[in-house]
Amino acid sequence: MRAIRAIWMRLRRALDSEFDAELKSHIAMDVENGIQRGLDEQEARRQALIRLGGAEQVRQAYRERATLPWLLDLQRDLRFALRTMARNPGMTAVVILTMAIGIATTATVFTWIDAVMLQPLSGVADPSHLASVATMAAGGEFITNSYPDYIDFRDNLKLFDGIAVMRPAAFSIGNEEHSDRVWGELVSGNFFAILGVKPEAGRVFLPSEYGDAAGKYPVVVISDRYWRTHYGGDPRAIGSTIRINQHELTIVGVADPAFHGSMAVTSFDLWVPYMQQPMLNGVQTWMLRDRHTRNLLGIARVKHGVTMAQAGQELKALADRMALAHPDVSEGVSATLLPLSQSPFGPQGLLVGPLRILMGVSVLVLLIVCANVANLLLARATMREKEFSARMALGARRGRVVRQVLTESLLLTSLGAALGMAATPLLSGALKLLMPPGFMETLVSLRVRPNLAVLGFTAGVCVLAAVAAGLLPAMQVVRLNLSARLNDGGRSGTVGRRRNRMRSVLVGGEVALALVALVGAGLFTRSFRQTMRIDPGFDPNHVLLSQLYLSTNGYNLAQRKEFCRRLEEQMRSAPGVDGVAFSDGVPLGFEPSWWEELKVEGYAPQPDENMNIFRNVISPGYLPLLHIPLVEGRNFTDQDNENAPPVMIVNEAFARHFFPGRSPIGHTVHGWGSWFRIVGIAKNSKYHYLSESAPPYFYVPFRQMYREDMNLAVYVRTPGNPDNVLATLRRKARAVDPNVTVFDAAPLSEFIGASLFPQKVAASLMAIMGGIALLLAAVGLYSVMAYWVAQRSQEIGVRMALGARPAHVLRLVIGKGLMVTLAGLVCGAALAMALAHTVSSVSFTNSAMGSSASLLGQGGGDPLIYIAAAAFLCVVALLACWLPARRAALINPNDVLRTD
């Protein structure tokens, strides 16, 4: 306020000084003229000033002309508006809060959408030419790429400036005594060049570091965040060494502060060349050359002047050629370009589906808010018709009255808008709360900046609605015949009746929209419940899950296995521990699930049959610990070790598919270059989604098949609360090796909720939005009915004087309110049915496999939900009408008839 005033003063001074100069020159000329006529200078000046009419008076008149009219009016209008607002604190609060809620929720959702879908990557150059390379397996699922795939893409694509590959990875930074775990990306050397990321300090990777030589690039680029938190932004950090996974790397630069890595809404802190893996996590050099080792995501930059379609075609043609050239690994594999916003990997894949629906819902809420604010202002303006008429009768011009109403509406709504805008950044951070527990939660970036354009738009829509609602009645008044308005007692004008109809329509619309939101919430919640009830086929209760990052401690493969053996030994003897197990993949988790291409003895695959079968690598304790029963054969034992012949356990679906009508036990299956003998059949369970139908699946023993690039999840079963056993796990892990830290421990039952996450988000957010919509509709209904009663109090008084009982009046008012509600419900039901049909086609992808599952169980046709939502709305409407109805019923005819 002070700043505006300062600017204003300066402007005024400039204006004044210019006029002073003009005045001075005027007087000087007049004085000169007088002197020429023979007067002495003093007399000439005196006469000049008289003719002028006094310098100060002229200045005053001039200033008034220059500034005051509209400014004074504005000031007066503002003061009056504030007084009016203070006189109606209830209505003022409702309007402001309604607007704030509407703007904040809508802007928050749009901010998320912006961060996830519209501008997934920040800090990169020209993102419109970047695209996500999506490789697809024969079945159409999105899969990741191997490093040899990358080399093929890099060396053969002509329509691209280049392609970069990357994979997220956890690193441990520090020495043996103290280490932090930090998330980063293993990237191809050209990563920064392709994305167009500038260094903030130092440099990014040099072309000489783009090569494919294993272990030759001991360099690292750190994020601005990491630089500031760990080095205090000290430029001397550049060139210093950093101890990552117990190996020394040189920090060569700091990335642009806006750059957080190659995944939307995530923040990484380190970027290390992919080729450093042999040194950093013991990955064998041959695995870098192995087409089976698919663990890389790709982002490509399309050349200028080349369309995405052309580039996509070239990529697909090359991928198809590669599939033909390497049929053993890539049969049927194809690739396509996807806009960055549609990348199926990472948190984005999870959020896109729910966010789309959320966007629709927030538009609903925005509409309800607009209707509501319009409604309230309409009511107020109607009540003030007499005041406007009086003003005009006293000589106010039409424009003046309109301007006053405009000022009031604007003040009221901009207060609401400001409050909403202030709340938006706070709400935007809540995105983190929506992520499932585990590593995704720690990764999600809090740096979602509210988008000003979005905020402006949302606020603009509300303000526009409000101003229109405030202004229309005023305009009508202004056009009216003055005497008619003033003579009419302001009780029952015909205009009032028409406006009442308009308000009823608005409220009916609100009810309809609220029904849509409620039905949506109901449908999503039911779908979520249904999925929850599905038996996963294993028992996740009383199990603690944690991830060990042994490779970051510089362990080689044998050391890792030894660590696991000793940890298991230690844990078994600990109190409160029923069992310990290890595995690579976590069922229903977020980490990718892997597969292996199999040959099954005695089974001839169909020509286009997908022989890539999902698998898990497990310790002998895994199946018993998760209560997955064996239907035939035996479990793995400690004797199934490196020196024993390879063995395998398959699930029922596997047995049924590959060995129909006979037992698979004793038969052999080929994978990873050797033959495995099937020793057991496990019961089917859920692996990726609760809603999946059992796919063929198999298990191989941890000691026989564990490789350097695999994860290591540890499970501990306890009779009590899994959280209580965490301390034991920490202690025992430290007893085996003091350097090993247990990160990310969570009860398995919570962790597997991850697979339900998109449905959970959709259900809970819809419930919140539905609640807001309901509340707003109730407020709208109440305000209309309360106003109606106030307007009709005299009529009601007359009715009662003529013998109507309070019960009649109650019925009259409630009936009127229910009419509006019912009309709204009918429209809302039709709208909801149409929308549910559309929404049921929206799906989400789980980063595990990139395949999609439907958000909404079975369509949207459950009549029970519609009936329940409608009934609930009716009850709320009854309540909203009941308060004014009671007031009407309590009217004392004597009082009413006498006051007027």
Partner 1 sequence: MGDKTDVWQGTLALMILKTLETMGPQHGYGLARRIEQTSGDLLQLNYGTLYPALLKLEQEGYVRSEWGTSDNNRRAKFYELTKAGHKQVRKAAAEWEQATEILSRFLTPAEEA
Give the residue with the Cβ less far from partner 1, 52 or 896: 52
Give the residue with the Cβ less far from partner 1, 37 or 236: 37
Between the alpha carbon of residue 91 and those of residues 240, 248, 376, 716, the distances in Å are 63, 66, 8, 58
Q: For residue 551, count CB atoms less than 10 angstroms from its CB and return exposed for 0-12, middle for 13-18, buried for 19 or more.
A: buried
Least distance CB 796 / partner 1 (angstroms)? 55
Give the residue with the Cβ less far from partner 1, 32 or 895: 32
Give the residue with the Cβ less far from partner 1, 36 or 175: 36
- H-helix or E-strand spanning residue 165: strand 160-174
Least distance CB 24 / partner 1 (angstroms)? 9
Give the residue with the Cβ less far from partner 1, 19 or 603: 19
Q: Is residue 897 a contact partner of residue 873, using CB atoms and an 8 Å limit?
A: no
* Main-chain phi, psi angles of 852, to 5 degrees: -110, 150
Hey, which residues does 242 pair with through a beta bridge? 249
Residue 539 and residue 78: Cα distance in Å, rounded? 66
Give the residue with the Cβ less far from partner 1, 66 or 819: 66
Give the residue with the Cβ less far from partner 1, 69 or 861: 69
Find the Cα–Cα–Cα–Cα dihedral 389, 395, 400, 402, rounded to 10°. Answer: 20
Least distance CB 22 / partner 1 (angstroms)? 5
Least distance CB 54 / partner 1 (angstroms)? 7
Least distance CB 4 / partner 1 (angstroms)? 22
Of 291, 280, 210, the closest CA to residue 249 belongs to 280
CB burial of 637-674 (b: ≥16 within 10 Å; e: otherwise) equals: eeebeeeeebbbbbbbebbbbbbeeeebbebbbebbee
Give the residues lining the site for partner 1 (CB under 8 A). Answer: 19, 21-23, 25-26, 28-30, 32-33, 51-55, 57-58, 61-62, 64-66
Least distance CB 454 / partner 1 (angstroms)? 38
Least distance CB 504 / partner 1 (angstroms)? 46
Residue 869 and residue 819: Cα distance in Å, rounded? 17
Q: Are strands 219-222 and 270-273 parallel, antiparallel or unpaired?
A: antiparallel
CA 787, chain centre distance (Å): 39
Q: Is residue 209 a contact partner of residue 189, using CB atoms and an 8 Å limit?
A: yes
Give the residue with the Cβ less far from partner 1, 54 or 861: 54
Give the residue with the Cβ less far from partner 1, 56 or 177: 56
Give the residue with the Cβ less far from partner 1, 1 or 50: 50
Least distance CB 33 / partner 1 (angstroms)? 8
552: region left, alpha or beta (phi > 0 left; psi from -120 to 50 alpha): alpha
* Main-chain phi, psi angles of 749, to 5 degrees: -60, -35
Tokens 């300066």, residue located = 10
* In 652-766, beta strands by DSSP E: 668-671, 674-682, 697-701, 713-717, 743-747
Least distance CB 44 / partner 1 (angstroms)? 13
The amino acid at residue 546 is S
Give the residue with the Cβ less far from partner 1, 41 or 895: 41
Least distance CB 62 / partner 1 (angstroms)? 5
- Max distance between CA atoms of the chain, in angstroms, equals 135
Least distance CB 38 / partner 1 (angstroms)? 17
Give long-range contacts, CB 8 A cutoff, 24+ apart: 757-760. 757/350, 757/435, 757/436, 758/350, 758/351, 758/353, 758/354, 758/844, 758/846, 758/855, 759/524, 759/527, 759/528, 759/531, 759/844, 759/855, 760/528
Least distance CB 30 / partner 1 (angstroms)? 6
Give the residue with the Cβ less far from partner 1, 33 or 858: 33
- Torsion 359-365-369-371 (CA) sign: positive
Q: Is residue 593 a contact partner of residue 848, using CB atoms and an 8 Å limit?
A: yes
Q: In the 3-class helix/strand/coil scheme, how is 365-378 assigned residue by residue?
A: HHHHHHHHHHHHHH
**DSSP-assigned letters across all residues of 66-116:** HTHHHHHHHHHHHHHHHHHHHHSHHHHHHHHHHHHHHHHHHHHHHHHHIII
Least distance CB 162 / partner 1 (angstroms)? 59
Q: Are strands 241-244 and 247-255 parallel, antiparallel or unpaired?
A: antiparallel
Give the residue with the Cβ less far from partner 1, 399 or 429: 399
Of 868, 765, 834, 776, the closest CA to residue 509 belongs to 776
The amino acid at residue 805 is R
Give the residue with the Cβ less far from partner 1, 25 or 42: 25
Pair of tokens at residue 798: 């007359």
Give the residue with the Cβ less far from partner 1, 29 or 534: 29
Least distance CB 60 / partner 1 (angstroms)? 9
Least distance CB 450 / partner 1 (angstroms)? 40
Of 818, 773, 828, 770, the closest CA to residue 512 belongs to 828
